[in-house]
Amino acid sequence: MDTEPGGAPDDGDRMRFYSREKTWPDSWLVPDPSDPDISADDVLEALLADMPDYAEEALVAACWDKRSTQAVRRAVIAAPNEWRGWVARFFHLRFAEGRGPRRQHRAALVEAWTHDHAAVGAAAGGRAALRRMFADAESKVPVRLGDPVVLWRGYSVDDPLLRRGVSWTTDKRVAAWFAQLPRPVSPVVLRCVVPRTAILHWSDEHGEREAVCFETDGATVDGDPAEWARLAAETKT
């Protein structure tokens, strides 16, 4: 996906994600994600109108039980992929409006993000909204990462928007592996050093040691294609 459908965010707010799955619903009810007046009710109306019955039931159950994070995760998983980002956006808006707990927002965001970054990015509509979603989640970042933290990011096609991506890793080998996918055209591995407080989410899901960070404008190229290919090969052994 190149940029978020809906709205026309300025260049500083644009994002680019890659996804193997569809990330935008075929529905005229989908709200404009960049609308500053978008509400939880706007999103809920679209979700309940277009999702399958089983997904609607899971979402309603999560709304009724404000104590459960498991119910929220089930609601995200039950939703079709193109709606999962919107489920996360709904729970964030619900939290921001004072109608739902932070823990449910965090559970929905992490579940949807782990499944498909692009789906969440599309529903956020831009970097500013996505940053608010992660900042409001107040996820714990391991102290063992140290302070400051060295981050890397790799991708196989150099692009200004990809250089401003928010998904990084604390393992250079992982970044090098991503730089080789699917077929490297102009692979790049970037490096930056940030304070631990700049990392809004960290996870070792799938062994990727992912760090979500928006403060990476000073990142520089680290290494060369030969080194990246060697490091990528190490991750497969």
pLDDT per residue over 203-227, tens digit each? Answer: 998 899 999 999 999 899 999 999 9
Residues of the chain with pLDDT under 70: 1-11, 236-237
Same domain, 67 and 36: yes
Same domain, 26 and 127: yes
Q: Identify the pLDDT of residue 11.
A: 56
Same domain, 155 and 122: no
Beta bridge partners of 191: 152, 220
Q: What is the CA radius of gyration of the chain?
A: 18
Question: Mutual orientation of helices 81-96 and 70-78 as an angle, nearest 10°?
Answer: 140
Residue 5 lies in a domain: no
Same domain, 168 and 226: yes
Alpha helices, DSSP H only, in 158-200? 160-163, 172-179
Structural domain containing residue 45: 11-137
Beta bridge partners of 169: 152, 210
Beta bridge partners of 193: 150
Cβ atoms of residues 215 and 166 within 8 Å: no
Residue 4 lies in a domain: no
Same domain, 17 and 104: yes
Last residue of a domain, one of 87, 111, 137: 137
Query: What pTM, to 2 d.p., does this model score?
Result: 0.91
Q: Identify the pLDDT of residue 48.
A: 95
Q: Is the peptide bond prior to 182 cis by the omega test (within 30 degrees of 0)?
A: yes
Q: Identify the pLDDT of residue 2.
A: 31
Q: What is the pLDDT of residues 71-101, one digit of tens each?
A: 999 999 999 999 999 999 999 999 999 999 9
Domains held by the chain: number? 2
Instruction: Specify the residue for token string 């077929």.
Output: 183
Last residue of a domain, one of 137, 155, 183: 137
For residues 235 and 185, give the distance between their C-alpha atoms in angstroms, rounded to a whole number. Answer: 20
Q: Identify the pLDDT of residue 26.
A: 87
Q: Identify the pLDDT of residue 53.
A: 97
Last residue of a domain, one of 108, 137, 166: 137
Q: Identify the pLDDT of residue 236.
A: 61
Residue 2 lies in a domain: no
Structure tokens at 90: 């709904």
Backbone angles phi, psi at 156, to 5 degrees: -90, -10
Residue 197 lies in a domain: yes
Same domain, 61 and 127: yes
